[in-house]
Chains A and B, each alone.
Chain A
């Protein structure tokens, strides 16, 4: 069965520090899709990135970068030079091609202090 684990419940950093949010997943499928969502205090889930299982290229978007490693079943998210506006709960999620259900991890709460 598919599973997503975010072991870090809460992280607190000072502004301008770099921070990495960990995500480990379990699946038996060879075709699957991984996602990161941001949930600010307003409550809406904001889509950040999608990767499919055949594309292990790392991706960078501004201060955000993602490291996808199939060998360790991990899809980690790094924020460089964090800002107060990055404070939110971040969710990693997985869809298997066989089940079509988006399964979320328990989330990591990031607090960026000025």
Chain B
């Protein structure tokens, strides 16, 4: 079965750029979505179809996908960005989530 690999945690200094990766076999050939989940809340879609932002998501959030890695980039990180982030793809009519990455803003 298809697997997605994310780092357990990523730290970023306030105002700097955070990059969260999502690895998978030829993931560049798949469509990747990203979700942000704050404690006690439901996940929120922040990037869909590799690099598109839903309305209401700041331009500081961007995404890319190529080869074996998809990347969520958060520019000018803010304290309010601290959360768990999950990537997600579809494979053989099955939705697959990565294990999640905890983002800490220092």
Chain A bound to chain B? no
